[in-house]
Amino acid sequence: MSDAPRTSGMTRLRNYFLTGFIVCAPLAITAYIAWSFIGWVDSWVKPYIPARYSPDTYLPFPVPGFGLIVALILITLIGFMTANIVGRAIVNFGERLLGRMPLVRGIYGSLKQIFQTVLSNKGDMFRQVGLVEYPRKGVWSLVFVASEKETEINRKLDQEGDPMIAVFMPCTPNPTTGFLMYVLKSDIVLLDMTIEDGARLIVSAGLVAPEVKPKMVTVNGEPIDGDLANPPVGALAQPARKSRTASSRPNK
């Protein structure tokens, strides 16, 4: 009789611990990453700040985040100065100097193009999530669909009426690595989930799936659930199947 309450109490304690762990672990990891990033920026910026301008000189303890604030202010000032004619002339002169260095110009050009693509609002980034049959037929992989730009690859592999599209297939659990593939547009199954939902699905290895949103359609001027307006074929077949089963039973 005494084993049952003891087992129930241990189960409750285990559930409490798991609930607390689920709440605390994301907070702790987020705080650790943020604190590490602040410390990393401070270690780079603080050595270049004159001692008379640093609060660490006048306080008995270091001030975390002061280097990050100084870096943000400097980056903003550089962007402000670059926006005028003089600043653009200086930047263009520096880029021309870098363009004459064989090894540096390749690294700088690639990094600049990557940052411009990621941070710009021109719609050059991934625009949709899709599915592609890979690595074999019947097995589907999640991909990020890039914009349909005209490139040499598209021109060489172009099919009449079915263009080739660049897709990026990320790896789990690190979505920053993966494979760049060119596939036919007709071979891509486009999804309604956002890029953020697709990234979470990949990072969590399929454990954190986005909620399925009802597809709304308009019937007689009123929006209704698309599944109700167009039910699956199996759902339509069930009433007919039941009626046939009932009619085939012998009357008693």
Predicted confidence (pLDDT) per residue in 71-115, tens digit? 999 989 888 888 788 788 888 888 888 888 888 888 888 888 777
Residue 249 domain flag: no
Confidence of residue 223 (pLDDT cuts 50, 70, 90): low
Residue 171 lies in a domain: yes
Residue entry with tokens 């301008």: 53
Q: Alpha helices, DSSP H only, in 46-101?
A: 66-82, 85-99
Please count the structural domains in the chain. 1
The total of other beta-carbon atoms located within 10 Å of residue 33's CB is 10
Asked if pLDDT for residue 21 goes beyond 50, the answer is yes
Check pLDDT > 50 for residue 241. Answer: no
The dihedral formed by the CA atoms of 70, 72, 76 and 81, expressed in degrees to the nearest 10? 40
pLDDT band for position 2 (50/70/90)?
low
pLDDT reported for residue 237? 42
Q: What is the pLDDT of residue 72?
A: 92
Where is average pLDDT lowest: 106-120, 131-145, 165-179, 188-202? 106-120
Q: What is the pTM of this model?
A: 0.56
pLDDT in tens, 38-49: 999 999 999 988
| Residue 74 within any structural domain of the chain | no
In a domain, 40, yes or no: no
Q: What is the largest CA-CA distance in the chain?
A: 103
In a domain, 136, yes or no: yes
Residue 224's CB is within 10 A of a number of other CB atoms, namely: 13
* Predicted local distance difference test score (pLDDT) of residue 216: 59
Cα 63 to Cα 72: distance, rounded to the nearest angstrom: 16
Q: Domain for residue 144, yes or no?
A: yes
Domain range for 171 is: 124-233
**Residue 236 confidence class, pLDDT cut points 50, 70, 90:** very low
